[in-house]
Structure 1
């Protein structure tokens, strides 16, 4: 049964809330250009998290040039969200529906409920956490200093604005994200201009690393950075309104470059920042140390930038997570689903505000994120390439037992096996402060979670889909 609608109920404009969720976008309602995706992906990636993660690379013991190489290598992974984004306009629906082709009708419900919600909740909480800590620090400097209610209050205000944008949806995102991206570029370049004079360009690690210890730090840093692009399995949702005729190469380039350029530039600035603040800066917190380096007038502007970035990233996340709720099978319209996502993300953020330091929360959660996101991204990319960027939107909504994506009783053995095995191996190779898998321990705490998890998941999925277990998808 088709889920397409052509009435004004599903109009995609910036002036009214978008009610279309996973329903098919008819060709007559497609619009936009691939290059629009550049700014949509740039806005969420002008992030204070880039400064934090870049500084973490130096804290791990890397030299500047080593940190820059790790950042560049991780940014190459931005091509993957670009590849899977092509499935959005090809199918005309959300990525959480497209993944029925990978996991089966029932298997996809489990996948979307866990992966869609887990990734959504982590990123909602991480970026709200950033704005909460920085907003609270700014208010402390002007005399408003309650360690509990100030960050909680900042979280609630930012959460409300974010969900409001997510309710209006794709049309508003398309309209305002280019403006947000340009504003954030100016703010972050201003901040960079005051960081650079304090940079120690002759910086050398006090305890230079070599051998296994060096590769351990490089691999851990790479895993933290890789979790960013690997988590954007929602990229098809943003691209699904594009005309079916849009060239895949243009979608891949606009999505990939939009995420990679600001990530590379400002994560590199974060590494430079670490040489300026020294060990004492890590003790007081990177955000506080950064504020101390800036003139008084720029501090509030940076906080505004952090809030704008938070809204950009989390409005997109809440928007796509609401469609995940629909794809699970809950009888919810998109707007109520968006509100539910916002409540869950706000609750998790408040918990982290009261129980974690910002740096610890970012590093641990982004490392653990790859256990889910690395194999899931690998499977999605393989499926897109196998199908040569072509999906049948109507077939994805065929829920009959004889439908093309019924597979084995509604479950895709290839997809689920690749996801579970890939996730298990990712966890076994992961190296964090609270968990080091046996493979990581055996290699001297070298974190091979991303390459091993992705390679195993990709090869296993490709191989199993070539057997009788995957033949249903080719009907």
Structure 2
């Protein structure tokens, strides 16, 4: 029996691991993906993204445009979601078709690290949001309140993660509606109270050294980071679901709340100019809103971050299975939770700097994920969009497809060579690449070009050749 397959009966989606979803369980509709991705991107961190955009020295119009263009990167998630319906398994399992089973361990390992980093970001953001909520009800921020907030948020995440994916998805629908309505209300409030002369007076920044880096940061934190999980939530889509509907549900579901939240952050920077560098930007946001508005808004934000955390933990546990590390899902989640707790403790109680390491993390992970996304998407459109994925490609002993692995590594290294992350500075990160994140575009472009050249020149003759 191939790896990951089940026998006897039809287990729930939570019990399948990376096994192919039985056709009888492919019953979901694209509208459900809208709620999945809307809830996954409606966290208050989107407000901080808006402040980060303005910190690149952009005008109001440039900032809004950067938000929209950056969020368009969710097209990558739309494509991986289309692949999920066709392949009926998780994203990083589908990735075996282009890298080989053994070769896929390298990018999957990196994707797992990325998800661990994002989960740590979620824990930190959730804790800071609880701290902001406690401040809104009159409890002064201190080390003690951070400890209490961490325990409360961590406990909520563990409890919800044990409820199962279907329950979490049901919760997300209500959280999406509640927090979405509150966010819209907050935006309308900010639009009516904003210092428009100051906002519109923001000078225009450089399109090459300001606008593009801002776009790449948003893309790294949104579509590029989530592309590795698209199929995880679309593999049980009904065969009658059209690719166009799946794609649009994902992109629109993620894009609407993100653009709205980033607009909020852009507006807030007129009143909190240092929002992007604030030690606790979420607390600063809460202090700006009236108490009657801040308390329910921050409470709904906490609930939203909890479900985002559960999604990250779920995808991370599936990545371990894709690497051949066979653990029960609850064991995998417990292992992941232990690792991310250590990171969260360091940032919250030792370094005290959240946004600096966060941006460095986005840029560093982004060059590797962008290179992988270029290969995955090219492989999907070239070979699998119409003919699907074979079981041998996904679960057979296919070894390592060395040319593909080379394309991925070359793209990622090219991006790193022109990028400054703060802890790894590329030797060619000068000129337009100095203090920017344009390496993400370099990484994506190099891997895409190399992989397409390989497909045209060598793959037809090497289709069945794998180095084990």
- TM-score of the alignment, normalized to the shorter chain, above 0.5: yes
Q: By how many angstroms is 1:284 displaced?
A: 6.7
Alignment-derived partner of residue 295 in structure 2: 300
**Cα deviation digits, residues 217-243 of structure 1 (max 9, x gap):** 223211210111101111101111112
Task: Answer whether contact 1:43 1:309 (CA < 8 A) is retained.
Answer: yes
Alignment-derived partner of residue 464 in structure 2: 472
Q: What does 1:173-252 correspond to in 2, within 5 Å?
A: 173-203=168-198, 208=203, 211=206, 215-227=208-220, 228-232=222-226, 233-252=228-247
Alignment-derived partner of residue 80 in structure 2: 84
For the residue of structure 1 that corresponds to 2:273, the secondary structure is: helix
Distance 1:271 1:74 in 2: 14
> 2:449 matched to 1:459?
yes
**Counterpart among 305, 316, 320 of residue 321 in structure 1:** 316
Distance 1:455 1:131, change over 3 A: same
Distance 2:138 2:205 in 1: 47
Distance 2:285 2:124 in 1: 17
Alignment-derived partner of residue 89 in structure 2: 93
Tell which deviates more after alignment, 465-474 or 251-260.
465-474
**Counterpart among 33, 37, 50 of residue 33 in structure 2:** 37
Q: What does 1:229-378 correspond to in 2, within 5 Å?
A: 229-232=223-226, 233-279=228-274, 285-354=280-349, 355-378=351-374
Task: Answer whether contact 2:43 2:304 (CA < 8 A) is retained.
Answer: yes
Alignment-derived partner of residue 6 in structure 2: 5
**Counterpart among 384, 395, 418 of residue 392 in structure 2:** 395
> 2:421 matched to 1:428?
no
Distance 1:438 1:28, change over 3 A: same
For the residue of structure 1 that corresponds to 2:271, the secondary structure is: helix
Distance 2:284 2:110 in 1: 37
Task: Answer whether contact 2:363 2:437 (CA < 8 A) is retained.
Answer: no
Distance 1:64 1:174, change over 3 A: same
For the residue of structure 1 that corresponds to 2:27, the secondary structure is: coil
Q: By how many angstroms is 1:51 displaced?
A: 0.9
5+ residue gaps, structure 2, are none
Q: By how many angstroms is 1:73 displaced?
A: 1.1
Q: By how many angstroms is 1:143 displaced?
A: 5.9
Distance 1:217 1:154, change over 3 A: same
**Cα deviation digits, residues 236-278 of structure 1 (max 9, x gap):** 0111111234221111111111111111121122111111223
Q: By how many angstroms is 1:200 displaced?
A: 2.2
Distance 1:29 1:283 in 2: 47
Q: By how many angstroms is 1:37 displaced?
A: 0.2
Tell which deviates more after alignment, 384-393 or 428-437.
428-437
Distance 2:414 2:26 in 1: 41
Equivalent residue pairs, number: 458
Distance 1:182 1:161, change over 3 A: same
Task: Answer whether contact 2:128 2:283 (CA < 8 A) is retained.
Answer: no
Task: Answer whether contact 1:195 1:293 (CA < 8 A) is retained.
Answer: no
> 2:397 matched to 1:411?
no
Task: Answer whether contact 1:76 1:260 (CA < 8 A) is retained.
Answer: yes
Q: What does 1:109-124 correspond to in 2, within 5 Å?
A: 109-115=105-111, 117-124=112-119
TM-score with structure 1 length normalisation?
0.89
Distance 1:158 1:66 in 2: 36
Task: Answer whether contact 2:51 2:275 (CA < 8 A) is retained.
Answer: no
For the residue of structure 2 that corresponds to 1:24, the secondary structure is: coil
Tell which deviates more after alignment, 422-431 or 119-128.
422-431
Task: Answer whether contact 1:152 1:353 (CA < 8 A) is retained.
Answer: no
Alignment-derived partner of residue 128 in structure 2: 133
Alignment-derived partner of residue 403 in structure 1: none
Task: Answer whether contact 2:62 2:204 (CA < 8 A) is retained.
Answer: no
Distance 1:280 1:365 in 2: 19
Alignment-derived partner of residue 106 in structure 1: 102
Distance 2:276 2:87 in 1: 49
RMSD: 2.6
Task: Answer whether contact 1:22 1:93 (CA < 8 A) is retained.
Answer: yes
Distance 2:432 2:5 in 1: 52
Task: Answer whether contact 2:51 2:268 (CA < 8 A) is retained.
Answer: yes
**Cα deviation digits, residues 147-203 of structure 1 (max 9, x gap):** 434323322332332233334333223322211111110221232233223322223
Tell which deviates more after alignment, 369-378 or 39-48.
369-378
Q: By how many angstroms is 1:209 displaced?
A: 5.6
